[in-house]
Structure 1
Amino acid sequence: MRTVSVGLTDVGRKRTVNEDAMFRDDRMGFYVVADGVGGRSKGEIASQETVEQLRMWMRDRESELDRLVTACEGGDPDAVWDIRRLLENGVQSACWMIFGMAELDPEMRGMSTTCSALLIRAGYAFAAHVGDSRVYRMRQRSVLQLTEDHTLINYKLKHGLMTPEEAARAPGKNLITRAVGHRDYVQVDTADLDVAPGDRFLLCSDGLHRYLHDDQEVVELIGDDTIQTSAHAAIALANQRGGKDNITAIVIEVRPG
């Protein structure tokens, strides 16, 4: 299998600086979306540096990754876990770097970012995630969200401290509980699931998914048109519904090799 992708980012209708950053590499099957945390100084530096750190991390470990992919394709269950750890360690490395930069420069103090990274290799999709950017998989018009929002509202929902009706009305929906660079270490969620030709993936910042009413709208965005049209439609939808934040979308299609 191979992947093809289109990625777009837009400042939106309310912001003057785009604090989102993204990276995509179809040859490696590696994709990243990062969203500088709003209200923090130099969020655009945190997001861009995180993307760059992950790009270099995966480039420098390409031979190790190829070995693990070969083992994974050979049925080694430990290789699946090792690939997840490789991604997790990459995010941790970026976190340490962002925190260190902020410690050295008072103007950067407090900067941080979300991060959602996706690697599609060996018949699997591997995700590493911090914050409230998202990764979706669509298969035969059925949508699965691979990531969990690290937000205060989602935490309260999970622990029964708030009803869905209360959450819909609650302020502070973008208050996150984890971020890359806020401290020198962050808890990273990882996941893996199978991939098949025809699957499509959407990586996006909350500037898009906050305007999606349900999974059916994900299907409407990326289900039928070309991935180029789908990416442009995602940006247009968020702007049409307010564009209050920066908007980033990467649409990926899995094709036969």
Structure 2
Amino acid sequence: MTETTTSTRTVPIAGGALELSWAEATHTGRRREINQDAVLAAYPLFVVADGMGGHVGGEIASSSAIERLRAVTAKGDVGPATIEKALARAVNDIGAHPEATDEGTGTTVTGVFLDTDDDEPTWVTLNIGDSRVYLFRDGALAQITTDHSVVQELIAAGRLSPEEAENHPYGNVITRAVGPTDGVEPDYVRLDVVDGDRFVVCSDGLTKELTDYGILHFLLQNADPADAVDAMLEASLENGGRDNISIIVLDVARRGSSPTTD
């Protein structure tokens, strides 16, 4: 397994600075032959893509999405418009491989980016599919993104409890993806930048093996992002590693003035 390391960056803002630290890992797991996940962790964008499709279709889909987003990050112009243009280009990339892809080919795209266009910076989460962004704040863990899945729709309609959803036969069926038959407009959620916040961006390979309480446990036990990623990955593999597993842990320390969480 590749050694996980923590990267850091200081971002000047009005009245102070943000000190960001993050680590990422992706693993094939114990039951899959190839890894159809792909990860981008490059300031200001932190994204996980979980590909799906026969042959190498899922791998093509996730890598296309990540490489198109990487190009946007390199230009330093990350926002909804540029993200959606990048994902549209990824759809074209996927369609250019008809020999390896089919109608079921696509990828989730889920993550968070730092928006510094205004005087007060904000985080913006983005989501297509059932990969997730969690926020650890004030000792509690909350799922920020909403899964685009059949099971989530049944929960929202009151036809299924979260406990029943854990082993539902349609647990892997998602209702939105980046692919030839879907759109490329993510859901967005904007969040204040608060000192001490920690984000977890992950594919469902993690959440199949760890409950939210398990994720919280490893965040509380590991202050360093690399250590937290390694601990969650190891536990996921020990619990079965039934799918590809991708994890990003992103921490923020705010120096200077900071909004309250009230």
The TM-score normalised by the length of structure 1 is 0.82
Q: What per-residue deviation string (whole Å, max 9, x for no partner) do you get for residues 32-73 of structure 1?
A: 11010255751111111111111212333x2x56xxxxxxxx
Cα 1:38/1:172, change in 2 over 3 Å: farther
User: Cα offset for 1:141?
Assistant: 1.5
SS at match of 2:61: helix
Unaligned runs of 5+ in 1: 66-85
> Paired residue for 1:142?
140
Cα 1:217/1:53, change in 2 over 3 Å: same
Aligned residues of 2:69 and 2:87 also touching (Cα < 8 A): no
Q: Take 2:162 and 2:64, find their aligned partners in 1: how far apart are those partners?
A: 35
> Paired residue for 1:16?
33
> Paired residue for 2:219?
222
> Paired residue for 2:10?
none
> Paired residue for 1:48?
63
Which amino acid in structure 1 is aligned with residue 149 of structure 2? T
> Paired residue for 1:81?
none
SS at match of 2:176: coil
> Paired residue for 2:21?
4
User: Cα offset for 1:211?
Assistant: 1.9
Q: Take 1:224 and 1:164, find their aligned partners in 2: how far apart are those partners?
A: 26
Aligned residues of 2:72 and 2:83 also touching (Cα < 8 A): no
> Paired residue for 1:104?
96
Indicate the percent of aligned positions where both proteins have the same amino acid: 33
Cα 1:126/1:149, change in 2 over 3 Å: same
Aligned residues of 1:112 and 1:179 also touching (Cα < 8 A): yes
Aligned residues of 1:41 and 1:109 also touching (Cα < 8 A): no
The alignment's C-alpha RMSD in Å is 2.0
> Paired residue for 2:87?
95
SS at match of 1:192: strand
SS at match of 2:32: coil
Moved more, 223-232 or 182-191: 182-191
Moved more, 161-170 or 238-247: 161-170
Q: What per-residue deviation string (whole Å, max 9, x for no partner) do you get for residues 129-156 of structure 1?
A: 1001111110122112111111101011
Cα 1:164/1:117, change in 2 over 3 Å: closer
Q: Take 2:163 and 2:198, find their aligned partners in 1: how far apart are those partners?
A: 31
Cα 1:184/1:219, change in 2 over 3 Å: closer
Which amino acid in structure 1 is aligned with residue 249 of structure 2? V
Unaligned runs of 5+ in 2: 1-17, 256-262
Q: Take 1:204 and 1:171, find their aligned partners in 2: how far apart are those partners?
A: 22
Q: Given the alignment, which residue of 112, 130, 133 partners 2:131?
A: 133
> Paired residue for 1:33?
48
SS at match of 1:223: helix
Q: Which of structure 1's runs of 4+ aligned residues deviate more than 6 A?
A: none
Cα 1:197/1:15, change in 2 over 3 Å: same
Cα 1:44/1:98, change in 2 over 3 Å: same
Which amino acid in structure 2 is aligned with residue 223 of structure 1? L
Aligned residues of 1:131 and 1:151 also touching (Cα < 8 A): yes
Q: Take 1:56 and 1:152, find their aligned partners in 2: how far apart are those partners?
A: 32
Which amino acid in structure 1 is aligned with residue 204 of structure 2? D
Higher share of residues assigned helix: 1
Q: Take 2:219 and 2:163, find their aligned partners in 1: how far apart are those partners?
A: 28
